[in-house]
A = this chain, B = another copy of it.
Amino acid sequence: MNNKSEIKGKQINCLDKGFVRLVDFMGDDSSIVQSARVSYGEGTKTINEDRGLIRYLLRHKHTTPFEMVEFKFHIKLPIFIARQWIRHRTANVNEYSGRYSEMKDEFYLPDISQIRHQSTLNKQGRADEVLDPETSQEIIDKMQYIQKDLYNNYKEFLDEGLAREIARINLPLSNYTEWYWKIDLHNLFHFLRLRIDSHAQYEIRVYGEAMAEIIKEIVPLAWEAFEDYHLKSMYFSKMELEALKLILKGEKVENIPFEELGMKKREWDEFLIKVEQLS
């Protein structure tokens, strides 16, 4: 616990020019326990009992004690990621303003490993395979060329005296912005559950993982519980439970009439992936 205050100011670089930096925080594992004990009217206990209580709370969806820990981050991120991020409403934000201040000459340029085809499975994502290196490099060069060109145009507009709030409208979504972002642990867990998931866009996942790295030093017991009961848990729908029953009775997976159980092919495929992880 001694080194908790050292973690203030910890910064993890993200993507090519972004970062997550912990500006401040309030509370740790012991604060979760402390506020939970208000509900139960009991005093503080041993570390071991603290761990048990935290796990009990998370398992049984007693979420309010997790709201008692607060984090404040300074984050630098591309605008298209900021647009996904801001959809999480239960947080406080103070963003750099392109009306007050000049936008900086900093744009996200994807690493060559991220230049990928549209996924054929996931309508909203990229494929696992990369493009051929030459095409990829051409795309990146093209992107960089566009970004330079756009920033030059922006500066020219400003030089002509055009108001900043107008001059910036053709800046691209790859332009970096920054903000202070404050959130409690319960809502951060919710954010992370969605944003470090494999369906989230790679570029926001990078930020989610960076924040996870930082907070697990502050709330190690809560983080462990979050992994055991959320990140590494699995959930089965009513129909999947019917299928699971049949498997437990000895039925071969390939013989299960999934359509009779009320599942479509796509849903069934999702179930097969779960079953594979259980073998």
Residues of A in contact with B (beta carbons under 8 Å apart):
23-27, 31, 34-36, 38-41, 52, 59-61, 64-65, 67-68, 70, 72, 74, 78-80, 82-83, 86-87, 89-90, 92-102, 108, 110, 114-119, 123-127, 131, 135, 139, 142-143, 146-147, 150, 153, 157, 160-166, 168-174, 178-180, 182, 184, 194, 199, 201, 227-229, 232-241, 244-245, 247-248, 262, 264, 267, 277-279
Contacts and interface: CB of A to CB of B under 8 A. Distances in A.
Contacts of A72: 26-27, 68
Contacts of A26: 24-26, 70, 72
Contacts of A165: 124-126, 201
Given A64-B93, A162-B117, A238 B232 contact: yes
Nearest to A184: B92
B229 A238 contact: yes
Q: What is the count of identical protomers in the complex?
A: 4
Instruction: Summarize A's interface: helix, strand, loop or mixed.
Output: mixed
A46 B115 CA distance: 37
